[in-house]
Structure 1
């Protein structure tokens, strides 16, 4: 089998974590044998939810809230924003607004214990959806995922943990409550994974539960976990809170919120004077007070006494979770913010990644502590990009794959727009009658379709190919990729797995016979480079040379499903740079040879049973001297039909004949493009730039005549 190149090209490796637009949110509450119902609020008393659910009407439960009432105004403002930080602040405030508006009713004390509820938006989901338990941060409300409910609810069974404001259940008892729920649900559906999504304090809670029940299939997603509390200045806030309790009692939130300006910030400036951590104190309250109108709600969620209790709980929770990290076996994804002013989250994320056996890390450089309330972060996209979603014991890259939404695909394509812009790809395809046309009209619409072609240096051809087919034909091409994009044999210096998030989001799968079989059976459009890494990391003078194995690896399997095989050629790497320092040069230098051996040892190996050059695929990054960019050219030849040839192509000799025909057609496509590009008046980026300056920068640049 083959891989999607070396995939070491930075231009093709940007993760995407965006959010779909939120819609109105109301809550669905878990049914229970002994409910407590108040005129404005209802929650389950039973701490272990039943499997059935009921919806509470707006008049007898939590009311529907319109969260986008200012959406039009915000959209107009966003168009005028030129500063990225201003846009991030807009997203942050929007998330806080949704959270605060929905917390009005649920935060009111009702005398009940900690319990679970399920948002109404989470009612329609996939078959056999895994259970997702959300464990909130210091607020305890359980609405921290309000921006994500709709998308999460389409693929998960979502329950949110609610800790009432007046509840003083110790941390160890909260662990027991969550553990009891996990055990109960595991016993009911033992083959279903259970996701624990915890933020801050909830991260400690999730880790503690996972340490207690290592025999249960748990997936941890931790956002800025508070296991770093002992190294933060938050632990020193207790004296400040004691000082604030007096002055705040003299000014009720209703009065403060009606005053002009930002009275809370002015009051804080006076309160924190003289404290050694005055900046941290102000930042804490600023994160909780995005605008003054939120004060009444915040006062209900976190009165001074509750905040003091929660800070003490954070201290004990951090110590408890840290002392049990050695017992955790769960698959873990840590999300850490680069602008977390409350906890040293990025340093903590790196520490936990070293301590936990199956742990990955995703960094959000411009985000603050309350990551899930930021409009630029989409939890479902993060989960999909990390290949973390599964409905069984193991992730299946075909059956568990969820296609990208239009917004996700747009973001993924735009994140790699640079290579599309500088190479201005030309796409040619072949119609059924053999006519070569500009564009992709000749590509078959119905699968299964197997694209088989030449792989340019460093896989530079990959991004324009997948992007153009998706944009022009609305076809998602599933690439068979080198397994180093998905796993590591050991930790080292290879690019972090997060570098390949965009590839996984767009459907890349680890190359192998089983992956090809499943994709063909699902009638997918599949991308295969038989030359694999050897072709994508070729030596000097080997551009446009095929390194295909002797065996016809894919022909007989394609015939089994009646797939169309589309050969194609791609050229242009020699127009954007010269290969000046290749593998043969590097192995002559002992330190570089040792580095190559180390990289190769980290990556999973392919074709270990193949003798000779194709079985030796060392991982390295060749020296590449850039030129004034030329242009990329793609030519898709006429499809080879295998429908009705299943019995014929079972014969190895017949299959090998077809294999050689396909290989010859790929070489013909390459020769055709090398000849025709000589007559392209817009081969140089300079001539293309002049054309677009005259005709508009969004105009399509012409090419040679066919």
Structure 2
């Protein structure tokens, strides 16, 4: 188990502490608990306003739970990988009654079984097979993996004697019983990491059980990991903590001030599963210079914030991934998207997608919608992405493609003016080139099953804009039925920045702010109209035309578009 403090700065994520344990501390489980507890209390007294992270794997997970249950007054954050709170269901349990009968020298077959339970041999073999190398090289890599396993077993034989194994099994049994008896007393935020290939414990099942029992708990499942993921290659704990929004400097997580921008390797890791969107939609990015000239790329985007980007939300937010990715790759700008609170919390468990579905969006800077969030983002000179139409616009009805469904009154102009933020209106088109809406909200609500399903989804999420009137207040969550098309292309146009610097006093007046709001809305509509007209002259609007061009000119070549 590791104890760690998040720092005040953002250069190092955690400071870790290694406990040196003497043999007398290890004889009884309660002695070990008390020793770690003393260390936790000592660190908490040194930094009472900074949370202490307890990171535990297997037995360490039980130990972390025990500490949290005995110290509910301390600000703790638990990160538990395959906690052994389900040890009674382990394949090792049958060994406990017979452990005293084993010879002093560990049996190689038993060691091999333990090695298999860790999942290491299977991962080595699968890694060799997945490289798709020629047969001779594959056999060579498998042989090398077998030698590594043999070496691993040799090390186990030196370190893991019968007495050690006997002690370990008894400690696990005590840890399981103690932790499970005190789960009701745990108040700490908890992140559980469950492995899909854990041959030693039923970790996926146990993770779900703990999630239901602990008051503030989330779970992340890794289908290709074994029992000891921290020892496996490519398992980045820091990135996982950041994705799950479990990094915090104070007692409560602050989605603005606690945010750490992605590093290039982290971005590549998160973006890789979504890279297909670049091939499918090959977005055209256009921006407007200060003189009003439209240019290709993002040259017209200001380098320094605060900047507020206000635009149209496509069906299901299809434009988000390529938009945020291009800003990061081309300009090294993190867009802090104002997102629906359902991406951060639930009112209750149910049928909504798991919170892990939104990890990539939170990792790339998404924050829950609120006036406080706006204030903090502008005060930190951030680049803020706002869709005034929100969920209603992203779940629009038939015939509402490219239609702005915004509130009647401004929600952002006066806040932007308070910090002198530039407002950049932008339009996006192309959703109609990727799918046709077959069943929208109105259609689904005529079918009893889908009506009930929609009500259940909506009841699980925080309701926004309930005080508003008109269509913008209809924030019911539903899943429209869309017929996919042969992919077309996405187009973005960022208009000329609207300055609010020096207009703070003028824009305090509602009528003045409303005029700017109407101007922004008009500019967004103009951007959409421009793109809809111009894309008709794009010879590479169809994905087949783009692939043909790249096959001739290289797949790294930039595909042309219409003339500006």
Residue 402 of structure 2: aligned partner: 544
Superimposed CA distance per residue, residues 661-685 of structure 1 (whole angstroms, 9 cap, x where no aligned partner): 1100000000000000001111111
Residue 270 of structure 2: aligned partner: 412
Superimposed CA distance per residue, residues 81-121 of structure 1 (whole angstroms, 9 cap, x where no aligned partner): xxxxxxxxxxxxxxxxxxxxxxxxxxxxxxxxxxx999xxx
For residue 482 of structure 2, the aligned residue among 597, 610, 624 is 624
Matching of residues 659-674 of structure 1 within 5 Å: 659-674=517-532
Q: Secondary structure at the residue paired with 1:161? A: coil
Matching of residues 137-156 of structure 1 within 5 Å: 154-156=12-14
Change (3 A) 1:554 1:294: same
Residue 443 of structure 2: aligned partner: 585
For residue 330 of structure 1, the aligned residue among 188, 191, 206 is 188
Residue 283 of structure 1: aligned partner: 116
Superimposed CA distance per residue, residues 600-636 of structure 1 (whole angstroms, 9 cap, x where no aligned partner): 1101111121122211200011010001111100001
Matching of residues 157-236 of structure 1 within 5 Å: 157-163=15-21, 168-236=26-94
Residue 646 of structure 1: aligned partner: 504
Looking at both structures, which has the greater relative contact order when contacts are Cα pairs under 8 Å and sequence separation is at least 6?
1
State how far apart, in whole Å, the 1-side matches of 2:46 and 2:328 are. 41
CA contact (8 A) 1:280 1:341 kept: no
For residue 268 of structure 1, the aligned residue among 91, 95, 108 is 108
CA positional deviation for 1:419: 1.6
State how far apart, in whole Å, the 1-side matches of 2:153 and 2:490 are. 57
> Are 1:127 and 2:11 an aligned pair?
no
CA contact (8 A) 2:105 2:161 kept: no
Provide TM-score, normalisation by structure 2.
Answer: 0.91
Residue 606 of structure 1: aligned partner: 464
For residue 692 of structure 1, the aligned residue among 547, 550, 555 is 550
Superimposed CA distance per residue, residues 515-566 of structure 1 (whole angstroms, 9 cap, x where no aligned partner): 1111111111110000000000000000000011111111111111111111
Residue 396 of structure 1: aligned partner: 254
State how far apart, in whole Å, the 1-side matches of 2:365 and 2:293 are. 31
CA contact (8 A) 2:414 2:513 kept: yes
Residue 378 of structure 1: aligned partner: 236
State how far apart, in whole Å, the 2-side matches of 1:612 and 1:286 are. 56
CA positional deviation for 1:355: 1.1
CA contact (8 A) 1:128 1:192 kept: no
CA contact (8 A) 1:237 1:281 kept: no
CA positional deviation for 1:296: 6.2
Residue 67 of structure 1: aligned partner: none
Residue 143 of structure 1: aligned partner: none
CA positional deviation for 1:300: 4.9
Runs of at least 5 residues in structure 1 that lack an aligned partner in the other structure:
1-115, 130-150, 249-266, 273-278
Superimposed CA distance per residue, residues 574-618 of structure 1 (whole angstroms, 9 cap, x where no aligned partner): 011100100000111111111111101101111121122211200
Q: Secondary structure at the residue paired with 1:664? A: helix
Q: Secondary structure at the residue paired with 2:458? A: helix
Residue 66 of structure 1: aligned partner: none
CA contact (8 A) 2:117 2:227 kept: no
Residue 285 of structure 2: aligned partner: 427
State how far apart, in whole Å, the 2-side matches of 1:186 and 1:576 are. 54
State how far apart, in whole Å, the 1-side matches of 2:496 and 2:391 are. 26
For residue 362 of structure 2, the aligned residue among 492, 504, 507 is 504
State how far apart, in whole Å, the 2-side matches of 1:284 and 1:161 are. 27
State how far apart, in whole Å, the 2-side matches of 1:403 and 1:437 are. 28
CA positional deviation for 1:696: 1.4
Change (3 A) 1:445 1:117: closer
Change (3 A) 1:117 1:585: closer
State how far apart, in whole Å, the 2-side matches of 1:515 and 1:282 are. 49
Q: Secondary structure at the residue paired with 1:656? A: helix
Change (3 A) 1:290 1:211: farther
More off after superposition, 428-437 vs 285-294: 285-294
State how far apart, in whole Å, the 2-side matches of 1:638 and 1:386 are. 36
State how far apart, in whole Å, the 2-side matches of 1:343 and 1:562 are. 56
Q: Secondary structure at the residue paired with 1:233? A: coil
Change (3 A) 1:430 1:184: same
- The CA RMSD over aligned residues, in Å, is 2.2
For residue 564 of structure 1, the aligned residue among 416, 422, 425 is 422
Change (3 A) 1:285 1:403: closer
CA contact (8 A) 1:165 1:301 kept: no
Residue 525 of structure 1: aligned partner: 383
Runs of at least 5 residues in structure 2 that lack an aligned partner in the other structure:
122-146
CA contact (8 A) 1:233 1:280 kept: no
CA positional deviation for 1:165: 6.8
Matching of residues 354-373 of structure 1 within 5 Å: 354-373=212-231
More off after superposition, 406-415 vs 574-583: 406-415
Change (3 A) 1:529 1:686: same
CA positional deviation for 1:444: 0.8
CA contact (8 A) 1:563 1:643 kept: yes
State how far apart, in whole Å, the 1-side matches of 2:247 and 2:465 are. 28
Residue 27 of structure 1: aligned partner: none
Aligned residues: 539
Residue 39 of structure 1: aligned partner: none
Residue 178 of structure 2: aligned partner: 320
State how far apart, in whole Å, the 1-side matches of 2:191 and 2:2 are. 24
State how far apart, in whole Å, the 1-side matches of 2:23 and 2:69 are. 27
Superimposed CA distance per residue, residues 232-253 of structure 1 (whole angstroms, 9 cap, x where no aligned partner): 11112246755653454xxxxx
State how far apart, in whole Å, the 2-side matches of 1:479 and 1:285 are. 40
Superimposed CA distance per residue, residues 254-295 of structure 1 (whole angstroms, 9 cap, x where no aligned partner): xxxxxxxxxxxxx734x69xxxxxx85562477599544445
Q: Secondary structure at the residue paired with 2:459? A: helix
